[in-house]
């Protein structure tokens, strides 16, 4: 039997990168998947790629009404949630003196506030024994240059996970953090790494990563699948770092 046969999974930021790779892994293991993303064309393309088991919701997770719509559509279509992966995120790389209130608020709205209210709004729909996966970052534990605000947003969700792991124990809902290291996804371009600069960037990153390369989105997806299914049924409150060992340096 497939690992997620008959399950319903939600992936925010599921239209690209790690989120899309996780959605593909969940579908391949029998789940019906709801992906949430801001850009309608990207969500539609991802749903077409995922196939009949996928449903898309277009909305900004920083807007709390998006979570209301997600919950309402899931209640109408599927009735319950078995896996909730809060994956949507953003990162403005800038030194602390250059951070504006708007930049600070935007990062906390997407990376922290949206996670808190997305999960709490989904909780009434979550079945006993469900799994919550919060996409974190090694930045929450390892100091990275010009990442202070981003690191703060990700440290906060680690605190959420530990608290929720105890709050939800009576329902046997497990809550874990999946923390990627440098990963080869489209977000590199958004962070200003051009196609021409990629070889030098990847070489520089590889020299800092004990395993000698960037992660692939599919490798993060396999870790997400582990946390989503019964293979991790005795794991909760954990931060799983899929970083090639870079946090050790």
Closest CA to 35 of 48, 154, 173: 48
Mean pLDDT in residue range 189-205? 71
Instruction: Identify the three-state secondary structure at position 236.
Output: coil
For residue 137, is it left (φ>0), alpha (ψ between -120 and 50) or beta? Answer: beta
pLDDT of 63-107, one tens digit each? 999 999 999 999 999 999 999 999 999 999 999 999 999 999 999
pLDDT surpassing 60 at residue 191 = no
Active site residue 84: no
pLDDT surpassing 60 at residue 31 = yes
Instruction: Identify the three-state secondary structure at position 172.
Output: coil
Write phi, then psi, for 127 (nearest 5 degrees). -75, 160
Write phi, then psi, for 184 (nearest 5 degrees). -80, 90
User: What is the pLDDT at residue 189?
Assistant: 64
* Predicted model pTM: 0.93
Q: How far is it, in rounded angstroms, from Cα 97 to Cα 52? A: 48
pLDDT of 98-134, one tens digit each? 999 999 999 999 999 999 999 999 999 999 999 999 9
Asked whether the beta carbons of 217 and 20 are under 8 A apart, the reply is yes
Residue ranges of domains in the chain, CATH in brackets = 8-248 (3.40.50.720)
User: What is the pLDDT at residue 188?
Assistant: 61
Closest CA to 41 of 31, 52, 33, 49: 49
Give the tokens for residue 83.
């896996």
User: What is the pLDDT at residue 249?
Assistant: 80
pLDDT surpassing 90 at residue 186 = no
User: What is the pLDDT at residue 239?
Assistant: 97
As beta bridge partners, residue 175 has 132
User: What is the pLDDT at residue 190?
Assistant: 58
Give the tokens for residue 188.
């590199």
- Catalytic position from the list 26, 84, 150, 160: 150
Half-sphere exposure of 193 (CA within 13 A, CB side): 18
pLDDT of 149-180, one tens digit each? 999 999 999 999 999 999 999 999 999 999 99
- Output the CA–CA distances (angstroms, integers) from residue 180 to 44, 142, 145, 147, 214, in the order listed: 26, 12, 17, 15, 10
Give the tokens for residue 154.
């990700």
Q: Report strand pairing: 32-37 vs 8-12.
A: parallel
């Amino acid at each position: 039997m497939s690992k997620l046969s008959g399950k319903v999974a939600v992936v925010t930021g599921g239209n690209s990168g790690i989120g899309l790779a996780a959605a593909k892994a969940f579908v391949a293991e029998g789940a019906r998947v709801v992906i949430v993303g801001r850009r309608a064309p990207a969500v539609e393309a991802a749903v077409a790629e995922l196939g009949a088991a996928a449903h898309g919701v277009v909305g900004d997770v920083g807007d709390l009404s998006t979570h209301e719509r997600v919950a309402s559509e899931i209640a109408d279509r599927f009735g319950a949630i078995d896996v909730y992966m809060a994956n949507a995120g953003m990162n403005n790389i800038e030194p602390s003196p250059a951070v504006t209130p708007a930049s600070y608020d935007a990062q906390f709205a997407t990376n922290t506030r949206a996670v808190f209210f997305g999960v709490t709004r989904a909780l009434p729909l979550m079945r006993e024994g469900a799994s919550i996966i919060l996409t974190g970052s090694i930045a929450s534990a390892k100091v990275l240059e010009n990442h202070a605000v981003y690191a703060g947003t990700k440290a906060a969700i680690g605190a959420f996970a530990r608290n929720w792991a105890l709050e939800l124990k009576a329902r046997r809902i497990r809550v874990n953090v999946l923390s990627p290291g440098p990963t080869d996804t489209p977000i590199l371009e958004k962070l200003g790494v051009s196609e021409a600069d990629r070889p030098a960037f990847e070489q520089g990153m590889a020299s800092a990563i004990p395993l000698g390369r960037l992660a692939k989105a599919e490798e993060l997806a396999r870790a997400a699948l582990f946390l989503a299914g019964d293979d991790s049924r005795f794991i909760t409150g954990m931060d799983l770092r899929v970083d090639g060992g870079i946090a050790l340096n």
